[in-house]
Amino acid sequence: MVAACLSPDLGRVDLMLRGARRISSKKFPVADLFRELDVELASERGGSALRSPRSLELSRDFDSIASDSASYSAACALCAMASRSSVPGTPCPALYAAMLEAFGKLATGAAPDDVSWLVELVNLEEHGVLPESPTPEGRALAKRLFLAGQGLEAIPDIEPEKLAAIKSWVGKLCLKEGFSRDYGSSPLQTPREDGTR
């Protein structure tokens, strides 16, 4: 089985998981949707894009996302966006942190609409395509939202009309950049490390 994953240090990583579908009372797959994994990668061979893990350990799971259809759809859509916009070998620590923050919120019942746009904003900023505000206040708000999307700061209070306008603007930018969420794509898993631990 091939699993499309996201790493903060390596960007997109496609893992070849051998025997991943074998389930017994003693062996249950560690790799699954919406899970953070500690991964030690085997050495690369022959320039293949597929990597093989030497070891996989579960770090955190967000399995409860699957119990709510709206949260599940939102998480799958965010994974599709991350897969589409991430590049093998290109670090994406902010997007990775934002995905984990979003998964944590979705797993505890947050409304998908309140979560998804922040991940999109972080992704746009990390790719350097989020336009800079002409005002100091706008730049300060964008910085706070970028940090809030990664769970590094509380989300600032924003008037409902202004918040709706920001969400719409972020959605249009994602569409323009080809980062828009796609509910028909495969979800990613999130390996935490590349074997340096």
Look up the pTM and report it: 0.84
Average pLDDT across each block of 10 residues of the chain; the chain has 197 residues. List them in order: 89 80 53 90 74 87 95 94 91 97 96 94 96 93 97 95 94 87 44 44
The predicted pLDDT at position 184 comes to: 37
The Cα–Cα gap between 39 and 47 comes to: 19
Burial string for 42-62 (b: 16+ CB within 10 Å, else e) reads: eeeeeeeeebebeebeebbbb
What single-letter amino acid sits at 189? Q
pLDDT in the model for residue 21: 47
Give me the residue spans of the domains in the chain. Answer: 2-63+186-193, 66-177
Give the per-residue pLDDT at 167. 93
pLDDT given at position 43? 79
Look at residue 29 in the predicted model and tell me its pLDDT: 65
In the chain, the N- to C-terminal Cα span, in Å, equals: 25
What is the pLDDT at residue 51? 85
